[in-house]
């Protein structure tokens, strides 16, 4: 895997209409990507697989740690919410400029406020350089260290130090160099105006995550359905982040889609639900085709955690080894125990009571009933990126095999493959196209809910197979001379290239056995 070339994967993605640069005819726009016909299908198939596993048949029928089926409800909330939502969530407060974090001390700095002491000569001899904030205690401390290391020194803005040299930058108050993160716009929200006047009173933001829409509708869902805790709410949708440096194809974009679950439970059950969801989510990614050593679950160290999550049961990431992160891994999905942080924030900012009353809890009364308990639920949040998921599927499926007539193919799971099957007449005459058209129509009627069935009469049969291999189409059926006499067709398996003959009237069931009933 590590030797897969991202350039080749991107070239195939473009050539076959999976992913295009947004606004390409105008030179593109950095951090935005469009999905072409095959990409739109692949993305929909992954979203649908998630939706089935999360909403329609939660965790494929597995029982939760409480021994009951997992209760999940869907939701579809707006991209633009009341601006106070983002005040409560902490997305607005104070974060107006690119910031860098120190991984060691957990301090956060304005990027443009940091300076570095470097040797007057410019030659650091491979030694660390000393970062400081003017007018803070770090200034004098770092100056002393820098003079000891280099003698004559001068200060330069951190922004003038090339990124490759950041591993040698000793952050203010830090013990070891290399702890500063890349600058990120913490007010990474896209601003817009609601209504015609466009005054500062009308400022609104495009959501940077879908999660907050769920938190602010939690009480409505509880009050308008018969659901009881523990239960989860799921939604998929666009999120927008004005990332400072969008990069690695669709991995870090400015517009992307999330698939998020907020699972609400009693605080005493949060640790069990955290473990349950963490494992269930890894299983999902394995099932859609990321099984193998490129997929890992990484439990965060406690000191990596967000402040509210430190009291929680944990946070972990499902990570995939992308060609551009190899030998390391990149995050596909984060699973976090968010405690009651978000509900508490909204309760405070909206001045609405978001507590639940659970009649089956609390002390046992003499009459055998329970007294009931009022509490703010804890939340387990599995938050996945759909675009990163699609990218991981493409990277995993991409295979080069020079021995084949089609040297590049996508080994996509049949459930995820954009085109489910293709039907070809070997040649476009001698009664073959009539049979292949009939077969195509029959398969389309039965399987169109799963995805398109292709019919292609042009070019040599080898080229048509190669096109389908690149599109990740798992099965090709070819009507040939023998079909007319023996009522059989060949079926070609994408992964092995092997062909077998099956009866024409068995084709539909053959596909159903492999794709599901249609
Ligand atoms: P990162 O550390 O990579 O910026 P994050 O921890 O900020 O990610 P979350 O806020 O946990 O990400 O968002 C949940 C998921 O949304 C991520 O696991 C990822 O799959 C996806 N995601 C986040 N930011 C982006 C982005 N800029 N482009 C594409 N997908 C993203």
Residue 339's closest CA among 303, 305, 313, 373? 313
Q: Residue written as tokens 């076959």?
A: 16
Cβ of 281 less than 6 Å from ligand 1:
no
Cα(241) to ligand 1 centroid in Å equals: 9
Cα(385) to ligand 1 centroid in Å equals: 6
Give the number of other Cβ atoms within 10 Å of residue 164's Cβ.
7
The DSSP code for 286 is I
Tokens for 186, please give them: 């913490």
H-helix or E-strand containing 263?
strand 255-265
Cα(351) to ligand 1 centroid in Å equals: 30
φ and ψ of 346, to 5 deg: -70, -35
**Residue 420: which residues within 8 A CB-CB, separation 6 or more?**
414, 447, 450, 451, 452, 453, 473, 474, 475, 511, 515
Distance from the first to the final alpha carbon of the chain: 33
Give the length of the chain: 518
Cβ of 241 less than 6 Å from ligand 1:
yes
Asked if residues 396 and 479 have their Cβ atoms less than 8 Å apart, the reply is no
Within the chain, how many helices (H) and strands (E) appear? 12, 27
Q: Looking at ligand 1, which residue's alpha carbon is closest to its atom 23?
A: 385
Residue 107's closest CA among 76, 75, 136, 84? 136
Cβ of 387 less than 6 Å from ligand 1:
yes
Which residues lie across from 97 on neighbouring strands?
none
Pocket test for ligand 1, best of 277, 334, 336, 384 (most atoms within 8 A of CB): 334
Tokens for 470, please give them: 């690149």
Tokens for 488, please give them: 């059989």
Q: pTM for this structure?
A: 0.85
Give the number of other Cβ atoms within 10 Å of residue 237's Cβ.
19
Cβ of 385 less than 6 Å from ligand 1:
yes
Asked if residues 215 and 343 have their Cβ atoms less than 8 Å apart, the reply is yes
Q: How far apart are CA 346 and CA 439, in angstroms?
A: 57
Cα(328) to ligand 1 centroid in Å equals: 17
Cβ of 317 less than 6 Å from ligand 1:
no
Ligand 1 atom with the shortest distance to the CA of 336 = 11
What's the half-sphere exposure (Cβ side, CA atoms, 13 Å) at 427?
A: 6
Cα(31) to ligand 1 centroid in Å equals: 13
Cβ of 388 less than 6 Å from ligand 1:
yes
**Residue 426: which residues within 8 A CB-CB, separation 6 or more?**
432, 461, 478, 479, 480, 481
Q: Looking at ligand 1, which residue's alpha carbon is closest to its atom 2?
A: 331
Rounded (10°) CA dihedral 11, 14, 20, 25: 90
Cβ of 258 less than 6 Å from ligand 1:
yes
Tokens for 431, please give them: 């009664």
Cα(414) to ligand 1 centroid in Å equals: 27
Q: Is 61 helix (H, G, I), strand (E, B) or coil?
A: helix
Q: Looking at ligand 1, which residue's alpha carbon is closest to its atom 27?
A: 252
- Write out the E strands in 120-210: 129-132, 153-157, 169-170, 184-185, 191-193, 203-205
| CB neighbour burial string for 173-186, b if at least 16 within 10 angstroms, e if fewer | bbeebebbeebbbb
Q: How far apart are CA 244 and CA 442, in angstroms?
A: 50
Quick one: pLDDT at residue 1?
44
In tens digits, the chain (518 residues) has pLDDT values of 446 899 999 999 999 999 999 999 999 999 999 999 999 999 999 999 999 999 999 999 999 999 999 999 999 999 999 999 999 998 886 445 688 888 887 777 888 889 999 999 988 888 999 999 887 788 999 999 999 999 999 999 999 999 889 999 999 999 999 999 988 766 789 999 999 887 888 999 999 999 999 999 999 999 999 999 999 999 999 999 988 678 899 999 999 999 999 999 999 999 999 999 999 999 999 999 998 899 999 998 766 666 666 667 789 999 999 999 998 899 999 999 999 999 999 999 999 999 999 998 989 999 989 999 999 999 999 999 999 999 999 999 999 999 888 899 999 999 999 999 999 999 999 899 999 999 999 999 999 999 999 999 999 999 999 999 999 999 999 999 999 899 999 999 999 999 999 999 999 999 999 987 66
In terms of DSSP bridges, do strands 169-170 and 129-132 run parallel, antiparallel, or are they unpaired? parallel
Quick one: pLDDT at residue 203?
94
In terms of DSSP bridges, do strands 330-339 and 315-320 run parallel, antiparallel, or are they unpaired? antiparallel
Query: What DSSP string runs through 24-40?
Result: GGGT--TT-EEE-HHHH
């Amino acid at each position: 895997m590590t030797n897969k070339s991202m350039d080749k994967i991107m070239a195939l993605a473009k050539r076959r209409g999976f992913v295009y640069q947004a606004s390409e005819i105008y030179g593109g726009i950095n951090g935005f990507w469009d999905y072409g016909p095959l990409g739109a299908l692949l993305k929909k198939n992954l979203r649908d697989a998630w939706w089935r596993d999360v909403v329609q048949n939660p965790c494929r029928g597995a029982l939760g740690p409480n021994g009951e089926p997992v209760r999940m409800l869907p939701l579809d909330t707006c991209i633009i919410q009341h601006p106070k939502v983002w005040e409560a969530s902490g997305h607005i407060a104070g974060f107006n400029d690119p910031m860098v974090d120190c991984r060691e001390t957990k301090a956060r700095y304005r990027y443009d406020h940091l300076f570095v002491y470097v040797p007057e000569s410019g030659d650091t001899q491979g030694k660390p350089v000393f970062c400081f904030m003017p007018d803070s205690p770090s200034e004098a401390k770092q100056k002393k260290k820098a003079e000891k290391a280099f003698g004559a020194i001068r200060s330069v803005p951190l922004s003038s130090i090339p990124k490759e040299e950041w591993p040698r930058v000793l952050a203010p108050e830090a013990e070891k160099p290399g702890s500063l993160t890349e600058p990120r716009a913490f007010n990474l929200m896209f601003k817009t105006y609601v209504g015609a006047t466009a005054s500062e009173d009308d400022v609104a933001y495009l959501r940077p995550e879908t999660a907050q829409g769920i938190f602010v509708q939690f009480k409505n869902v509880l009050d308008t359905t018969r659901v009881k805790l523990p239960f989860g709410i799921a939604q998929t949708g666009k999120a927008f982040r004005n990332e400072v440096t969008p990069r690695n194809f669709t991995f870090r974009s400015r517009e992307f889609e999330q698939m998020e679950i907020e699972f609400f439970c009693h605080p005493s059950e949060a640790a069990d639900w955290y473990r349950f969801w963490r494992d269930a989510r890894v299983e999902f990614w394995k099932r859609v085709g990321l099984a193998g050593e490129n997929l890992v679950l990484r439990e965060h160290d406690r000191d990596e955690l967000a402040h509210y999550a430190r009291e929680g049961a944990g946070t972990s990431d499902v990570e995939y080894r992308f060609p551009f992160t190899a030998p390391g891994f990149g995050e596909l999905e984060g699973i976090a125990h968010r405690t009651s942080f978000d509900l508490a924030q909204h309760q405070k900012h909206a001045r609405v009571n978001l507590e639940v009353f659970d009649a089956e809890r609390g002390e046992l009364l003499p009459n055998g009933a329970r007294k009931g308990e009022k509490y703010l639920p804890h939340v387990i949040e599995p938050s996945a990126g759909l675009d990163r998921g699609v990218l991981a599927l493409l990277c995993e499926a991409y295979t080069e095999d020079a021995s084949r007539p089609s040297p590049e193919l996508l080994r996509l799971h049949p459930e995820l493959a954009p085109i489910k099957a293709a039907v070809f007449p070997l040649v476009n005459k001698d009664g073959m196209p009539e049979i292949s058209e009939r077969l195509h129509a029959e398969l389309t009627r039965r399987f169109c809910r799963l995805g398109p069935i292709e019919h292609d009469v042009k070019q040599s049969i080898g080229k048509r197979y190669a096109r389908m291999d690149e599109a990740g189409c798992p099965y090709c059926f070819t009507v040939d001379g023998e079909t007319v006499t023996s009522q059989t067709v060949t079926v070609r398996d994408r992964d092995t290239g092997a062909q077998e003959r099956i009866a024409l009237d068995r084709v539909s069931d053959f596909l159903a056995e492999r794709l599901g009933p249609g």
